[in-house]
Amino acid sequence: MSDKKVIAVLGATGAQGGGLVRAILNDKSGGFSARALTRDVNSDKAKALAEMGAEVVAADLDNAESLSKAFQGTYGVFAVTNFWEHYSPEKEKAQAKSIAKAAKNAGVKHIIWSTLEDTRNFIPLTDNRMPTLGDGKYKVPHFDGKGESNKYFTEQNLPVTFLNTSFYWDNFIYFGMGPKKGPDGKLALSLPSGERKLAGIAAEDIGKSAYGIFKNGSEFIGKTVAITGGNLTGKMMADSFGKALGKEVVFNAIPFDVYRGLGFPGADDLGNMFQFYHDFEDYFCGVRSVDFTKSINPELKSFDKWLDENKSKIPLD
């Protein structure tokens, strides 16, 4: 039997967990093995992970029993929930609570909870600079539910690292946020970020950073670790797009209210998120440092490097 430390990875078929599974499997002498958790062990993504050498095990965040079973015999757990599948902070909180309880039952030695700030600690619900959402309970529902859930891990006295992530640059590929051709035929990157900086990262680097945290043993247990690949203004990103694509890309700062009103599911949540990034730029970018992130993930990609590798995937129409 292998004496490697087993890390159970939630969201293994997704961006964050997938990055961690690949980081574990690519480091043959690292002393860790990956248990990839998924609801469907027969999906193409699950099969691809098995082929790469991961142990693929069924688990469902909505089934506490399945989590307890899946965490048995593990050294570590990487925990992430997917707000965008249900748009419910209540559900996200229930899932986080189940994860924390299951980790406690299994006696895991280190759990990383992929979380974000509870924006209500910065913008109280009574602050009318942005609408209050989610039945009058949240400002940025997909941040607040995660941040509020931090307490479930501390309540269980778990050896936890809170991993505060950043905006995925991959949203420019998969979320339609990249530059688009305007009526004048020019490419414009349109974001509600004004002149302030946005902390961003290649999604794959989140998993790689989580791996760095596990490898550091006890150093980050009981701590909050915030990561970024680069803190950049919209104009800086537009200039990088221009260089990468070999065409002019202008930056267009959309007002927050206009973005909130775009009508796609979650537009109000994301509009509030961008306003939070904007209004608390000093805090948000201040706690997210490229140098620190490189210290736990030496392969960390800059925006320019990420763009160079991914520009052909970005839909421009």
Ligand X SMILES: NC(=O)c1ccc[n+]([C@@H]2O[C@H](COP(=O)([O-])OP(=O)(O)OC[C@H]3O[C@@H](n4cnc5c(N)ncnc54)[C@H](OP(=O)(O)O)[C@@H]3O)[C@@H](O)[C@H]2O)c1
Q: At closest approach, how far in Å is the CB of 209 from ligand X?
A: 12
Closer to ligand X by CB, 90 or 186: give it: 90
Within 211-270, which residues bind ligand X (CB under 6 A)? none
Of positions 34, 35, 38, 314, contacts ligand X by CB under 6 A = 38
Q: Does 168 bind ligand X (CB under 6 A)?
A: yes
* Of 6, 8, 17, 20, the one binding ligand X by CB under 6 A: 17
Rule CB under 6 A: is residue 81 a binding residue for ligand X? yes
Closest residue to ligand X using C-beta atoms: 14
State the minimum distance, in angstroms, from the CB of residue 116 to ligand X.
6
Q: How far, CA to CA in Å, does 7 sit from each of 28, 56, 114, 239?
A: 14, 12, 15, 40
Which listed range, 68-76, 162-170, 236-244, 255-263, lies at the site for ligand X (CB under 6 A)? 162-170
80 binds ligand X (CB under 6 A): yes
Residue 88 contacts ligand X per CB under 6 A: no
CB nearer ligand X, residue 59 or residue 106: 59
Q: Any contact of residue 55 with ligand X (CB under 6 A)?
A: no
Applying CB under 6 A, does 82 fall inside the site for ligand X? yes
Chain positions 128 to 147 lying near ligand X, rule: CB under 6 A, are 142
Q: Which is nearer to ligand X, 134 or 186 (CB)?
A: 134
Q: Which of 47, 48, 52, 60 binds ligand X (CB under 6 A)?
A: 60
**Chain residues in the site for ligand X (CB under 6 A):** 10-17, 38-40, 43, 59-62, 80-85, 142, 165, 167-168, 171
